[in-house]
Structure 1
Amino acid sequence: MESSPVTKRPTGSPENGGSDSGSDDKGPTTRTRFEYFGWVYHLGTNSIGREYCHLRFLCIRGKYVMMYKRDPHDNPGIKPIRRGVVGNTLMVEELGRRKVNDADYYVIRFYNRLDEEKKGE
């Protein structure tokens, strides 16, 4: 199964429902907030030590990171199964290629620096 590439788009622009704000003496200014989203594979290990690989929809909107089972653009009102805030404690680690269930994946790990036990890949 192929996954689509990660997409980015400005969400604060007037074309996407954003707003322009400005004062009379400086002219209009726009505040742009980017949104990155796309299908990824979530890798992990269950309680008995078996590795799993699930297709998930990852969305980075502003300072928030959310993971969904389905595309929230196609299914409005769906709740994220995981969410987090991008801040000083968010760590991104490049692990490289890993073989899971006879398939090769390129792995990047996102985790909170303060919580070393729960590392999501």
Structure 2
Amino acid sequence: MRLIDADSFQQQVAAIAIKDNLPADRCCALCKLIEMQPTAGGWHKVADGDLPPEPKCVDDVKRYLTAQKSIRGPYYINSITEYYGNLPCAELNLWWWQEHCVAWMDLPEYEEEQP
């Protein structure tokens, strides 16, 4: 599964339709089809107090897609963030959402690729 910016994709479809003189009804139908597609998941905002559940044991590693504060711009989408919770072996990841993360999204289907 890949995440895309559906609004940007619709703008690109409209630009191609105008450039290639495609019928407006086809462009509208395609944009409507894009709009109807389900999203991968909703963003949970840390500012609203919506924090991820803590893992229950050492082997229970949670993985999320996170949006974090950035020096160069307001935010950036991070790659997969691993969260080990309140475990002594992972104190560096203990409070990752309080210092950097502004929003997070569940990735229930995520499996690390094996080489």
Q: TM-score when scaled to structure 2?
A: 0.28
Greater share of strand:
1
Determine which structure has greater relative contact order: mean sequence separation of CA pairs < 8 Å that are 6+ residues apart, divided by chain length: 2
Q: Which has the higher helix share?
A: 2
Q: TM-score, normalised by structure 1?
A: 0.27
